[in-house]
């Protein structure tokens, strides 16, 4: 009787252990997915700020200091709490965004890491007439038909 009770207790323990491990894995995956979504959203906001700045008609230099972009997007009260999110978004952009280049620039006498926007700053060109494909339609319509087209 004692051995049967022990076996039931062990089976229950193993079952509870598997349930706890499963729930832990589900929680971890959801947390990781939320983190990645926050990184992607912040990266999109950073890209939008830089693109908008570069496309302004009075923009002399299409770059902004990274800390200035951070200050535009994250309030002072949240900067410490969101520091690792900011660093992850910066790293993501450096690895995956070809329209941005990171460089060091002097801004008002101080050296800053800046993002330079390399994307198209000018609107797309209007379509221009390239000319006729054939000199005249008469030479095309009078051409002999091949065996397949008869």
* Domains defined for the chain, CATH in brackets: 15-120 (1.10.10)
Residue 13, classed as helix, strand or coil, is helix
CB atoms within 10 A of CB 65: 16
How far apart (Å, rounded) are the C-alpha atoms in residues 9 and 106? 69
pLDDT tens-digit map of 15-58: 999 999 999 999 999 999 999 999 999 999 999 999 999 988 88
Instruction: Dig out the tokens for 96 from the structure.
Output: 């995956």
How far apart (Å, rounded) are the C-alpha atoms in residues 32 and 35? 5
DSSP bridge partners of 105: 112
DSSP string, 17-36: HHHHHHHHHHHHHHHHHHHH
pLDDT tens-digit map of 109-141: 999 999 999 876 455 555 666 666 666 555 555
């Amino acid at each position: 009787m004692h051995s049967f009770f022990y076996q039931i207790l062990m089976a229950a323990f193993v079952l509870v252990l598997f349930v706890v491990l499963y729930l832990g894995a589900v929680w971890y995956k959801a947390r990781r997915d939320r983190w990645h979504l926050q990184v992607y959203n912040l990266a999109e906001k950073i890209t939008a700020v830089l693109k908008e700045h570069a496309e302004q008609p009075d923009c002399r230099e299409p770059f902004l200091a990274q800390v200035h972009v951070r200050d535009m997007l994250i309030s002072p009260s949240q900067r410490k709490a969101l520091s690792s999110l900011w660093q992850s978004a910066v790293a993501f952009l450096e690895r995956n965004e070809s329209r941005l280049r990171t460089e060091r620039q002097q801004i008002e006498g101080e050296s800053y890491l800046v993002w330079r926007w390399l994307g198209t700053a000018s609107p797309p060109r209007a379509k221009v007439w390239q000319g006729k494909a054939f000199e005249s339609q008469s030479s095309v319509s009078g051409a002999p038909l091949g065996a397949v087209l008869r």
